């Protein structure tokens, strides 16, 4: 499999956008670019990594636009890989509007798996599509942030940006 990737800067740090011929399959965030490429290689060890061309760069720029303005409605082709349970959780996450948060427990209830709160948290942690599948909008039942694969400071910043924008509208 060939994966096309680009590295970009954003207000959240460095962003790696990886695409298969079917669509975006990974959006990863970090303070440095090297760990992003290594993580992509680790997740897809059989893949040949190729620098993105102009069309793929255009799609990557849409991802960056979504980071900077979470209220836009992207029309990105996606290539999502996960277990049936993960896919169910991720679909539920995509229905959380910007500026809103829900608890892991609420997601478990929504997908008719009320006892699967920990599994919901694990599905959030396994999400490879930062921002596109907004796992940063999921918090603990007590209102605390919980974890975030890409760092708690990023999660806090993303929620603050969304909350601020929601109050400007």
Q: What would the two tokens of residue 5 be? A: 């990737």
Q: Is 124 a catalytic residue?
A: no
d(CA 73, CA 108): 25
DSSP of the chain: -EEEEEEEEETTEEEEEEEETTEEEEEEEESSSHHHHHHHHHHSTTPEEEE--HHHHHHHHHHHHHHH-TTS-----B-----HHHHHHHHHHTTSPTT--EEHHHHHHHTT-TT-HHHHHHHHHH--BTTTS-GGGEE-TTS-----TT-HHHHHHHHHHHHHHHHH-
Among 123, 124, 135, 161, the active-site one is: 135
Instruction: Give catalytic residues, as residue numbers.
Output: 135
């Amino acid at each position: 499999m060939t994966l096309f990737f680009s590295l970009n800067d954003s207000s959240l740090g460095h962003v790696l956008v990886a695409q298969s011929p079917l669509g975006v399959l990974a959006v990863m965030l970090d303070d440095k670019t090297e760990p992003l490429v290594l993580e992509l290689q680790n997740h897809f060890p059989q893949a040949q990594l190729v620098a993105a061309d102009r069309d793929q760069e255009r799609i990557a720029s849409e991802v960056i636009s979504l980071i900077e303005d979470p209220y836009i409605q992207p029309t990105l082709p996606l290539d999502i890989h996960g277990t049936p349970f993960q896919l169910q959780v991720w679909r539920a996450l995509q229905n959380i509007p910007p500026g809103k948060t829900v608890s892991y427990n609420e997601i478990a209830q929504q997908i008719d798996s009320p006892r699967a709160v920990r599994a919901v948290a694990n599905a959030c942690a396994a999400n490879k599509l930062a921002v596109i599948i907004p796992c940063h909008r999921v918090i603990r039942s007590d209102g605390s942030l919980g974890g975030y694969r890409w760092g708690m400071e990023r999660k806090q910043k993303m929620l603050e940006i969304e909350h601020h924008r929601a109050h400007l509208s």
